Amino acid sequence: MAEIVLDNVVKRYPDGALAVDNFNLEIADGEFIILVGPSGCGKSTTLNMVAGLEDITQGRLLIDGDVVNDKAPKDRDIAMVFQSYALYPHMTVGENMGFPLKLAGVDKGTIAKKVGEAAEMLELTQHLDRRPSNLSGGQRQRVAMGRAIVRSPKAFLMDEPLSNLDAKLRVQMRTQVSRIQKNLGTTTIYVTHDQTEAMTLGDRVVVMRGGVVQQVGSPTELYEHPTNLFVAGFIGSPSMNFLPGRLEGGGRITTSLGDATLPDELRQALDKAASSSQDVIVGIRPEHFEDARLVPEAKGGARFNVPIDIVEAMGSDIYAYFTVRGEGAHSADLDDLAADAGNDMHGGDGTSVTARLDPAARTRQGQEAELWYDTSQLQIFDAKTGDNLLEGVTRAKTGSENAPT
Amino acid sequence: MQQETTQRKLTWTAVNTLVLIYAFVPVVWIISLSLKDSASLNDGNFLPVSPSWASYQQIFDNPDFTRALINSIGICLIATFVAIIFGTMAAYAIARLDFPGKRTIVALSLLIAMFPQIALVTPLFKIETALGLFDTWLGLIIPYITFALPLAIYTLSAFFREIPWELEKAAKMDGATPYQAFRQVITPLAMPGVFTTAILVFISCWNDFLFAISLTSTSASRTVPAAMAYFTGATTFEKPTGPIAAAAVIITIPIVIFVLLFQRRIVAGLTSGAVKG
């Protein structure tokens, strides 16, 4: 167990490409840290630098107070779980898990005992004599975990360990990974591109983009106070809706959903932010929409009428999809996100919006509905820089229950 | 449907039989020749009428042949062993590492493989006589290694490329030194490739006639293919057909043994289960 400090870490490849720029992070002993971001954002490179599989171009890496920049992976005493599991096919499950101990020169009795304990924790006891090729994907994944656990390293590094599993197994393993980490209390750095894993597993989440850390914080912090458009769009599923807007005087804001008046605390925060630009991008999370009929008139917020394109009833929620006319919101951050999600095509005009409504909502596919949205939960971003203008604002708790005055 | 499969089976059996006959007629013929005595050699029968071991007795009574057999086995095993050791290291480097001059090494080894060996015989002869290597085991082992290495490097680097790189990273993370990772993780996985290559290299050395005849002069280092050329009949007018056939049969046996022995080690799909996909 150890604390890990990354101090201004930079990774530049010989061809000049900058993979990670000025990465600063202090990871406390026993903390579960998630590095998340779209592919190519430098998260795996960062992990490999901590592991010692890649050189650090600049900056310092400290494990337990010692600078380990120039130490070989074997001298850092950290274990890694690979995306592909990387099990040794010529060894049995038991030999695979015992391999790190064998290399460390531990005697056979102790190896057998430790492997036995780890196997029990991972429910692999009856498979110890089998070879990896005879195991299922989930079992292989557990063997890979076991190999990391047996030697009680200072830290676990996990590089998308669940991404090769099917969806159901992934959810199951996710809770198991979390449980194991909590039981062992070992410092863990976990790389993923899946924001759900990031939200559910981590004590703290590091969102990266293009080699630069965008925001570090607890999952709730990232969800409620995203520092910029990129974080706002990346965290949350279904993701936040973005609409171009214009700030008018007196706390009024115009978007393609119509005019709305901002609550006082947001207006004050906006005044303080003193953005030169009147052009903003407004972010609304799907759950901050509601069927207008279910919201009392006194509750504030804003209402609008829109034809609903598609309704998906999930039982606990209803997802309503509709299109609002006008230019979509554009910024480098959002284009990056769209490219990562694979929908970087601009189909027709208008912006597609997702709303998560109460199951009691009476919206019908193809019919016009009156929807309400909670103005107290709006996120407002500078259209040019993508920075959140309301980052520090404390808001009233989830708007639909406690209406702002 | 049923008929079609039967018909297909019959077709394949016919084709296979044809190929087998084509391949085995010379072999059977050689064996048959080796079992004939000198009187019935030219009697026109494909199979010997009265088989005799006379030719075999004759060659094993010939000290030149037994000595050549020992030379062949010794020289080929040593050359194969050394070529495999160096070939493994070179192939690993070529498959895994990025270093300046990598392409040059690959190109050079390709060049060696393409170079007509006969063009090298005279220079090699001169060099070896000057160095005192002529007519020694080493004098044959060195050129054999030279020509075996390109073959070894090519075959082995293809095998190394198949081994997922992540296994090596995993070994490093598990606390292995680069040598331990190579020795305990990579080499066991490359074994099928190593054995395949060893068989190919051994056969190419074993069957060499050109260097064996040119770089030796006595039975001190003459290998079997060369020694066979010096067989003489019982009288000056008798051709040593029987003994040559017998010697040909004898030198085929080690290769068959070698292949059968190592074939068991060539297990396909040894790396399955290492990484997903």
Interface predicted TM-score (ipTM) of this complex, two decimals? 0.79
Q: Do B8 and B109 belong to one domain?
A: no
Asked whether residue A377 is domain-assigned, the answer is yes
Kindly determine whether residue A74 and residue B175, on different chains, have CB atoms separated by under 8 Å. Answer: yes
Q: Do A65 and A132 belong to one domain?
A: yes
Helix residue ranges, H only, A67-190? 93-103, 108-121, 137-149, 167-184
**What number of other Cβ atoms are within 10 A of residue A395's Cβ?**
20
Give the lowest-confidence range in A70-74, A131-135, A242-246, A264-268.
A264-268
Give the lowest-confidence range in A58-72, A128-142, A328-342.
A328-342
Place of tokens 């998560």: A356
Residue A401 has pLDDT above 50, yes or no: no
Confidence of residue A49 (pLDDT cuts 50, 70, 90): very high
**Strand, coil or helix: A137:** helix
Q: Do B96 and B192 belong to one domain?
A: yes
Q: Which residues does residue A247 pair with via DSSP β-bridges, in sequence order?
A: A253
**Strand, coil or helix: A356:** strand
pTM: 0.79
DSSP string, A204-236: EEEEEETTEEEEEE-HHHHHHS-SBHHHHHHSS
Give the lowest-confidence range in A156-170, A297-311, A338-352, B225-239.
A338-352
**Strand, coil or helix: A153:** coil
Residue A398 has pLDDT above 70, yes or no: no
Provide Rg for chain A, Cα atoms: 24
Structural domain span for residue A47: 4-224
Interchain CB contact of B176 with A (< 8 Å): yes
Interchain CB contact of A16 with B (< 8 Å): no
Q: In which residue ranges of chain B is pLDDT below 70?
A: 1-3, 233-236, 264-277
CA distance B21 to B28: 10
Asked whether residue A396 is domain-assigned, the answer is no
Phi, psi dihedral angles at A388 (to 5 degrees):
-75, 125
Q: Give Cα separations from A168 to A132, A165, A192, B248 (angstroms).
A: 21, 8, 17, 65
Counted domains in chain A: 2
Give the pLDDT score at A70. Answer: 92
Q: Do A150 and A202 belong to one domain?
A: yes
Give the pLDDT score at B272. Answer: 56
Asked whether residue A393 is domain-assigned, the answer is no
Asked whether residue A361 is domain-assigned, the answer is yes
CB pairs under 8 A between A and B: 86
For chain A, percent of residues with pLDDT exceeding 90: 57
Q: Which two tokens stand for residue B175?
A: 């606390």
Asked whether residue B270 is domain-assigned, the answer is no
Choose one of A224, A254, A284: the last residue of a domain: A224
Highest-confidence segment of A291-300, A395-404, B10-19, B249-258: B10-19
Q: How far is B272 from chain A (nearest CA, A)?
A: 6
Q: Of residues A15 and A1, which shows the higher confidence score? A: A15
Are A115 and A97 in contact by the 8 Å Cβ rule? The answer is yes
Interchain CB contact of A51 with B (< 8 Å): yes
Q: Which two tokens stand for residue A80?
A: 């890694």
Give the pLDDT score at B271. Answer: 54
Q: How far is B155 from chain A (nearest CA, A)?
A: 21
pLDDT digits (tens, 9 = 90+) for A318-376: 999 998 887 777 777 787 777 777 665 555 567 889 999 999 888 888 889 999 999 98
Handedness of CA A258, A261, A262, A268 (dihedral sign): positive
Q: Do B128 and B250 belong to one domain?
A: yes
Give the pLDDT score at B266. Answer: 62
Choose one of A200, A224, A248: the last residue of a domain: A224
Q: Do A331 and A282 belong to one domain?
A: yes
Q: Do A252 and A220 belong to one domain?
A: no
Q: Do A342 and A257 belong to one domain?
A: yes
CA distance A34 to A18: 21
Interchain CB contact of A131 with B (< 8 Å): yes
Counted domains in chain B: 2
Q: How far is A305 from chain B (nearest CA, A)?
A: 49
Asked whether residue A10 is domain-assigned, the answer is yes
Average pLDDT over residues A65-77: 91
Nearest to B175 among A100, A132, A140 (CB): A100
Q: Do A156 and A179 belong to one domain?
A: yes
Chain B residues with CB inside 8 Å of A74's CB?
172-177
Are A9 and A192 in contact by the 8 Å Cβ rule? The answer is no
Nearest to B275 among A80, A85, A104 (CB): A85
CA triple A85-A90-A91, angle to 5 deg = 75
CA distance B268 to B191: 11
- CATH number for the domain including A184? 3.40.50.300
Residue A405 has pLDDT above 50, yes or no: no
Q: Do B48 and B92 belong to one domain?
A: no
Confidence of residue A1 (pLDDT cuts 50, 70, 90): low
DSSP string, B59-115: HHH-HHHHHHHHHHHHHHHHHHHHHHHHHHHHHHHHHH---TTHHHHHHHHHHHHHS
Give the pLDDT score at A232. Answer: 93
Q: Do A250 and A121 belong to one domain?
A: no
Say which DSSP state A397 is in: S
Q: Do A205 and A296 belong to one domain?
A: no
Mean pLDDT score across all residues of chain A? 88
Chain A residues with CB inside 8 Å of B164's CB?
84, 86
Q: Do A128 and A276 belong to one domain?
A: no
Choose one of A224, A256, A278: the last residue of a domain: A224
**Strand, coil or helix: A135:** coil
Q: Do A29 and A81 belong to one domain?
A: yes
Asked whether residue A405 is domain-assigned, the answer is no
pLDDT digits (tens, 9 = 90+) for A188-242: 999 999 889 999 999 999 999 999 999 999 999 999 999 999 999 999 888 999 9
Structural domain span for residue B14: 1-52
Q: Do B43 and B91 belong to one domain?
A: no
Give the pLDDT score at A404. Answer: 38
Nearest to B166 among A82, A134, A140 (CB): A82
Are A309 and A282 in contact by the 8 Å Cβ rule? The answer is no
Give the pLDDT score at B122. Answer: 93
Choose one of B26, B52, B78: the last residue of a domain: B52
Give the pLDDT score at B10. Answer: 93
Nearest to B180 among A87, A103, A164 (CB): A103
Q: Do A188 and A330 belong to one domain?
A: no
Q: Do A208 and A256 belong to one domain?
A: no
Give the pLDDT score at A159. Answer: 93
pLDDT digits (tens, 9 = 90+) for A238-289: 899 998 888 887 788 888 888 888 888 888 888 877 666 688 899 999 999 9
